[in-house]
């Protein structure tokens, strides 16, 4: 059988894709921090590895198999449960060069490879970017500016591995746990932003009020009496001890209707308002209590420092 002319174009493409996998694999490592199959990680900066937090089950005694086959110990620099990213620092051992990233390859329909290292050898799967979600919220509540939904096969060691474009540039970090089994990737820019915070303070700052809320319908009489523009609000189900909400005077049973002039219809409206709050800034909350409309100003704190309230 002689390869046809178009067959050799196919062979060329195949070789380019294998070359892209090979190039990216130089920054993809295996992390030994769970039982059975090791998880994948990407050397993102000099001596810094990122991976999917849920695959790194231990906090101590973590070793990493480098692409050269050498082994290095690593310590956790920080975790962000909301985006499921973890940052690890490689100790000593000469680490491979960081991956080269390029956000321009992120387009729906672009050919991509998922490259992981669930052990000594690298493994790859192939597909396309099937959708780009803007302003997407993970089920842990974090708003991610962008997330890439992938049409490719998920395998052991997929999460934490690199998403690679056709030229071998890393364009994201793969994760199948962000949306319960669907193959997704966090784009490189998001990874960079989270990584900056993790390396600086070990966690990602998230504004925190210390309340749990649930949507409720407001009675027609209440809506009419206060001339409210809508008939739903958020009833406060719990208030954490010593939380910013308690300090501001919010109590269980209050019905929140507005923050900074924006309506509160769903709990995510409140999360959106909180994620827009800068460090140390405050926001206003308008609520109904005992038939009267009141407004308070509260100053959210950093969630990690905010204690144990809901």
19 binds other proteins (CB under 8 A): yes
26 binds other proteins (CB under 8 A): no
13 binds other proteins (CB under 8 A): yes
Closer CB to other proteins, 109 or 219, in the complex: 109
Q: What string of H, E and C letters represents the secondary structure of 230-268?
A: CCEEEEEEEECCCCHHHHCCCCCCCEEEEECCEECCCHH
Q: What minimum distance in Å lies between the beta carbon of 52 and other proteins?
A: 18
11 binds other proteins (CB under 8 A): yes
**Of 97-136, which residues contact other proteins (CB under 8 A)?**
113, 115, 121-127
280 binds other proteins (CB under 8 A): no
182 binds other proteins (CB under 8 A): no
Residue from 1, 220, 221, 292 binding other proteins (CB under 8 A) = 1
155 binds other proteins (CB under 8 A): yes
Q: What minimum distance in Å lies between the beta carbon of 156 and other proteins?
A: 7
17 binds other proteins (CB under 8 A): yes
Q: What minimum distance in Å lies between the beta carbon of 291 and other proteins?
A: 58
Q: Which residues of this protein are in contact with other proteins, per CB under 8 A?
A: 1, 3-4, 6-11, 13-15, 17-22, 25, 113, 115, 121-127, 152-156
């Amino acid at each position: 059988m002689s390869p046809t002319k178009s067959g050799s174009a196919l062979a060329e493409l195949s070789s380019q894709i294998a070359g892209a996998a090979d190039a990216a694999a130089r920054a993809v490592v295996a992390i030994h921090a769970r039982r059975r199959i090791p998880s994948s990680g990407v050397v993102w900066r000099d001596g810094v590895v990122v991976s999917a937090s849920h695959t790194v089950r231990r906090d101590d005694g973590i070793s990493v198999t480098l692409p050269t086959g050498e082994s290095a110990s690593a310590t956790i620099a920080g975790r962000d449960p909301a985006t499921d990213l973890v940052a690890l620092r490689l100790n000593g051992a000469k680490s491979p060069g960081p991956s080269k990233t390029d956000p321009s390859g992120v387009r729906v329909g672009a050919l991509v490879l998922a490259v992981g290292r669930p052990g000594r050898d690298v493994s790859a799967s192939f597909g396309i970017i099937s959708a780009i979600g803007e302003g997407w919220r993970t089920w842990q509540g974090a708003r991610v500016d962008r997330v890439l939904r992938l049409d490719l096969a998920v395998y052991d060691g997929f999460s934490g591995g690199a998403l690679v474009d056709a030229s071998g540039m890393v364009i994201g970090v793969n994760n199948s746990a962000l949306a319960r089994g669907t193959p997704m990737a966090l784009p490189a820019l998001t990874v960079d932003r989270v990584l900056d915070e993790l390396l600086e303070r070990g966690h990602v700052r998230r504004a925190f009020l210390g309340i749990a809320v649930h949507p409720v319908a407001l009675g027609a009489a209440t809506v009419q009496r206060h001339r409210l523009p809508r008939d739903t609000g958020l009833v406060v189900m719990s208030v954490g001890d010593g939380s910013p909400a308690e300090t501001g005077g919010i109590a269980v049973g209050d019905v929140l209707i507005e923050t900074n002039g924006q309506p509160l219809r769903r709990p995510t409206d409140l999360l959106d308002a909180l994620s827009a709050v800068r460090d140390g800034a405050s926001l206003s909350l308008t609520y109904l209590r005992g038939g009267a409309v009141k407004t308070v100003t509260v100053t959210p704190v950093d969630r990690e420092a905010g204690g144990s309230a809901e």
